[in-house]
Amino acid sequence: MYLDQDNVPFYIGKGKNDRWRPCNHCYSGYTNQLLKNKIKKIGADNVKVHFLHKDITDEDACEWEKYWIKHYGRRITHEGTLCNLSTGGERGPVGCIRSTETRLKISRAKIGTPAWNKGTGKSQRQRNAEWNKKNPMYMKEYQKQWYLRKKAERAANANR
Please count the structural domains in the chain: 2
Q: Do 82 and 142 share a domain, yes or no?
A: no
Q: For residue 113, count other CB atoms closer than 10 A to its CB.
A: 9
Domain-terminating residue out of 73, 91, 109? 91
Q: Which of 17-31, 95-109, 116-130, 145-159 has the lowest mean pLDDT?
A: 17-31
Q: Do 85 and 127 share a domain, yes or no?
A: no
Q: Do 130 and 63 share a domain, yes or no?
A: no
> Does residue 132 fall inside a structural domain?
yes
- pTM assigned to the model: 0.53
Q: Do 84 and 129 share a domain, yes or no?
A: no
Q: Do 62 and 126 share a domain, yes or no?
A: no
CB 30 within 8 A of CB 75: no
Q: Do 11 and 82 share a domain, yes or no?
A: yes
Q: Do 86 and 28 share a domain, yes or no?
A: yes
**DSSP string covering 82-96:** B--SS-S--SS---S
Full domain range(s) for residue 147: 122-158
Residue-wise pLDDT tens digits, 55-89: 888 888 889 999 999 999 999 889 899 988 888 87
Which of 17-21, 103-107, 132-136, 137-141 holds the top average pLDDT? 103-107
Residue-wise pLDDT tens digits, 106-115: 999 999 888 8
> Does residue 103 fall inside a structural domain?
no
Q: Do 19 and 79 share a domain, yes or no?
A: yes
Pick the more confident residue, 143 or 63. 63
- Give the integer Cα–Cα distance in Å for 40 and 10: 13
> Does residue 56 fall inside a structural domain?
yes
Q: Do 10 and 61 share a domain, yes or no?
A: yes
> Does residue 147 fall inside a structural domain?
yes
User: Residues with Cβ < 8 Å from 67, sequence gap 6 or more?
Assistant: none
Q: Do 78 and 146 share a domain, yes or no?
A: no
> Does residue 148 fall inside a structural domain?
yes
Q: Do 81 and 129 share a domain, yes or no?
A: no
- Per the prediction, the chain carries an average pLDDT of 83
3-state SS, 15-36, equals: CCCCCCCHHHHHCCCCCCHHHH
